[in-house]
Amino acid sequence: MSGPYTSFVAIGDSFTEGLNDPGADGRFRGWADRVAERLAALTPGFRYANLAVRGRLLDQIVERQVPLAIDLKPDLVSLCAGGNDLLRPGADPDRMAKTLAGAVRELRAAGAEVLLFTGVDPRDTPLMRRARGRTAVFYLHIRSIADVYGCHLVDQWSMQSLRDWRAWSEDRLHMNAEGHRMVAAKVCEVLGVPTEDRWRYTWPPRAHVDRRVRLREDRLWVREHLLPWVGRRLRGTSSGDGVEPKRPGLTAFEAGPPADAPRP
């Protein structure tokens, strides 16, 4: 089909839910909502659902969200999953890829176009850089899956503009509004959807930050973000416990406010 798209279902975890890109209605906005805004502006009657929930693992997304997406019969489904799995010791990227491939096969058989994502290179991310090897293997699998099943692919690994911390929120795991804006621009480019936003640009130089200031920031991050994350892992709980999808049904979506001003 390759557009114009009349319906879009987004499934996944916190990245697709939109953390930490606050919207005007008090819920998170995120790249998926931003893309839906562009599609709604171009296509009368456009419908959108977002089933993503923060903290979800790949198996949970495949078991709970993929069947719902198939039942909704959309033109386009985005599927980004596995990031939470890769944070855990012992994650098997080969097994994960097999699970993902099965989900993609089902979505394609149902007639939907599928949008897949690689992640950002984690070498600058404190929690994930030790897992860079298995992360790279999983993302190579995703590229292969996209080729085999004829999916659209958003390669965030090659998006050097996302390697600047100004695209990320204080927890160093979730993008801020600027990061989500860049991803939305990249998605639009991959889908052939016109947008004035750009994802490829060079950040202006940053002011020098004293080493002592950086150490204080690191200690604050450990206390406010890392230790709570470790605590949830030890307790077997998730940040998504009790959280419901923000747009569980495929409903009419009106274009929101004008897109953020394009970056130079």
Kindly state the percentage of the chain with pLDDT values over 70: 87
How far apart are alpha carbons 210 and 215 in whole angstroms? 9
Q: Which tens digits make up the pLDDT trace of 190-236?
A: 999 999 998 988 888 877 667 776 667 667 666 666 667 667 766 77
How far apart are alpha carbons 258 and 66 in whole angstroms? 31
CATH number of 7-203+210-252: 3.40.50.1110
pLDDT tier, 89 (very low <50, low <70, confident <90, very high otherwise): confident
How far apart are alpha carbons 125 and 140 in whole angstroms? 19
Does the pLDDT value for residue 264 go beyond 80?
Answer: no
Residue 123 Cα to chain centre, angstroms: 18
How far apart are alpha carbons 65 and 63 in whole angstroms? 6
How far apart are alpha carbons 41 and 259 in whole angstroms? 11
Q: Which tens digits make up the pLDDT trace of 101-149?
A: 999 999 999 999 999 999 999 888 766 778 899 999 999 999 999 999 9
How far apart are alpha carbons 162 and 31 in whole angstroms? 13
